[in-house]
A and B are shown apart, each in its own frame.
Chain A
Amino acid sequence: MTLQKTWPRVIIYLALVAFAAYYLMPVYLLVITGLKTDAEINIDWMWRLPTGIHFDGFEQAWPKVSANFLNSFLITVPSAIISAIIGSMNGYIFAKWKFRYSNTIFLAFLVGMFLPYQGILIPLVQTLQFFHVYATLPGVILVHCIFGIPLTALMFRSYFAGVPSELLDACKIDGCGFFGIYRYLMLPISLPAFAVVLIWQFTTIWNDYLIGLVVLSNPRLAPVNVAVQNLAGTYTTQWQVQMSGALIAALPTIIVYLALGKFFMRGLLAGSVKG
């Protein structure tokens, strides 16, 4: 609105297109490399378009990452669903059932959310080993659910804080208790919040590397990002294999982002505590 008086519109669009090219450059490289034949793989021709559509890279990468790709789903989907359910309950309580010290506890949740995972890794491994869930899928799901508690509570709390207290009072007059209000009022109206939280947790947990690496030390159970990193270490010169593996690992979250970008954006802003 304001720049346009001094800057010609063309410059604004040129700048935007240039930046867009910068952000898309790695995608271009990922896609064209994946579609090249092995013979076309040469670092001097890195930017050249492939001569046709081939899947040499994918054919070599897929057997190496397919099992881990499935593991990622087995970890991510239950973790996202369980943490969304826990988060909606906690958010409902933090927003509408303020008990003594509930604000202080909420603040303690937030502080915990921001501290780096390294601070808890060693005790975490000790504890999981003690309960014999170290290097198992249920163990890693448990870890993701627990570390998801602060953020999911924050997201649902912000959402439920916007529900007028008069509505809750009306429900109480109708005879609803704690669970009744949740079941008949909060749950039905919180579907958009569920979408935001599910997408956010799905993306975060799918993209996790550290927890997967440390907690799932068993390479058979490792998530896809750990497998892609291993590909990068073993196929050092066959970068078409690395690139194809990376593209496979990135596809689910990219698809979710493109299909449900609106919800993703809301999660983005909620994650900064301002929302």
Chain B
Amino acid sequence: METTSAKPSLFVETPTARRRPRWLRSDMAIAVLVISPSIFAVAVFIYSFIVWSFFISGTKWNSAIVDLTWVGLDNWLNMLTTDRFQTDVRNLVLYAAGFMSQCIILGFLLAVLIDQKIKGEALFRTIFIFPFAVSGIVTGVVWRWLMRPESGINLIFQSVGLDFLKSPWYTDADWGILAVSVAGAWQFSGYVMALYLAGLRGISMDIREAALIDGCNTFTLYRRVIIPLLTPVTFTAVVLTGMGSIRVFDLPAVIGTGAAFGTDALAFFMFSLTFTSQRYALGATIACVMMIFSALLVVPYLRSTRREAEQ
């Protein structure tokens, strides 16, 4: 068949094609061969590295000199009683609460507003999503100045007579991390809006009209029909924002400079332990904690998307 090819194909014309052993002549074998370097790279650079990180977290390697003596759960137990680790887990909960709720509420609200057959839809969409094209570092630099206690947003509040809204923002020793979540949500809520907008566009007009004929007012239509129909989108948004909360690094790195642990995050603690203090085993322990938290979100998420795909 290959010799009677009507259309020249790269493969037929090379003389080596004929000399290939029989098992290689099958296109399927070629496909497997072509993809195997990628499989190898993912297996080594992602999966074996993860296993290696877990291994390091059980060793004594807490200085510049590699020492892989096995100490079991020592680093893990040590970490559990470390103040900074406890603060960071608390900060993660606060950040996640602030970041996820802002992203989901803002994202949904913006999507509903944009879905009202408005003029200039493309313009508004562009404005709301554009922060996602900006890096975490740039976002952090700008918001650090916007949230300066003696300037920025507080200055606006002051000039319009809303002094009671003035806030210490990220300089607050207890709640500073919530200020960081404001910057994070500014960056990511447009993405959530795009997800919701795609979801809303997928709900047919018939369903909405039927609900209205059945006597739903706008509020009940959204509460009883549209929001339940958008549950898969909300699930996606929860998983993506949850994972964003676990791995947040750039924003606390920029905004939190100087402040105590009020704006600290697990990723930042992991970085400074590992690459500044060279306490590799302890750094690996935090990395593993972060991976476990993420896996708790990713596994059910991929399961559900897979089930949907199979249906």
- Chain A residues close to B by CB (< 8 Å): 1-7, 9, 12-13, 15-16, 19-20, 22-26, 29-30, 43-44, 46-47, 86, 89-90, 93-94, 97, 99, 105, 107-112, 114-124, 127, 143, 146-147, 149-150, 153, 171, 174-180, 183-184, 203, 206-210, 213-214, 225-226, 228-229, 232-233, 239, 242-243, 245-247, 249-250, 253-254, 256-258, 261, 264-265, 268-269, 272-274
Measured between beta carbons, the chain B residues less than 8 angstroms from A247 are 138
Pair A149/B133 contact, Cβ less than 8 Å: no
Pair B195/A3 contact, Cβ less than 8 Å: no
Contact of B110 among A5, A19, A119 (CB under 8 A): A19
A94 CA / B138 CA spacing, docked (Å): 37
Contact of A118 among B47, B240, B290 (CB under 8 A): B290
Contact of A108 among B42, B243, B246 (CB under 8 A): B42
Surface stretch bound by A, among B73-81, B149-157, B161-169, B172-180: B149-157
A207 to chain B, nearest CB (A): 4
Secondary structure at chain B's binding surface: helix, strand, loop or mixed?
helix
Pair B124/A3 contact, Cβ less than 8 Å: no
Chain B minimum-CB-distance residue to A231 = B141
- Residue interface bits B185-223, CB-to-A below 8 A is 1, else 0: 010001100110010000001001000100001100100
Pair A228/B141 contact, Cβ less than 8 Å: yes
B19 at the interface (CB under 8 A from A): no
Measured between beta carbons, the chain A residues less than 8 angstroms from B283 are 122
Pair B130/A15 contact, Cβ less than 8 Å: no
Pair A23/B186 contact, Cβ less than 8 Å: yes
- Residue interface bits B131-144, CB-to-A below 8 A is 1, else 0: 11111111111111
In this complex, the member of B7, B141, B247 whose beta carbon has the largest number of chain A beta carbons within 10 angstroms is B141
Pair B134/A207 contact, Cβ less than 8 Å: yes
Measured between beta carbons, the chain B residues less than 8 angstroms from A264 are 129, 133
A23 CA / B298 CA spacing, docked (Å): 30
Measured between beta carbons, the chain B residues less than 8 angstroms from A109 are 42
In this complex, the member of B49, B112, B284 whose beta carbon has the largest number of chain A beta carbons within 10 angstroms is B49
Pair A115/B294 contact, Cβ less than 8 Å: yes
6 A-B pairs whose Cβ atoms sit less than 8 Å apart in the complex: A6-B218, A13-B118, A175-B1, A180-B7, A180-B10, A229-B137
A127 CA / B53 CA spacing, docked (Å): 12
Measured between beta carbons, the chain A residues less than 8 angstroms from B112 are 3
Measured between beta carbons, the chain A residues less than 8 angstroms from B221 are 2
Pair B56/A122 contact, Cβ less than 8 Å: yes
Measured between beta carbons, the chain A residues less than 8 angstroms from B205 are 1
Measured between beta carbons, the chain A residues less than 8 angstroms from B110 are 19
Chain A minimum-CB-distance residue to B55 = A123
Pair A12/B116 contact, Cβ less than 8 Å: yes
A178 CA / B10 CA spacing, docked (Å): 9
B65 at the interface (CB under 8 A from A): no
A232 CA / B140 CA spacing, docked (Å): 10
Pair A176/B126 contact, Cβ less than 8 Å: no
B70 at the interface (CB under 8 A from A): no
Given A110-B302, A111-B298, A264-B133 in contact, is the A246-B142 Cβ separation under 8 Å?
yes
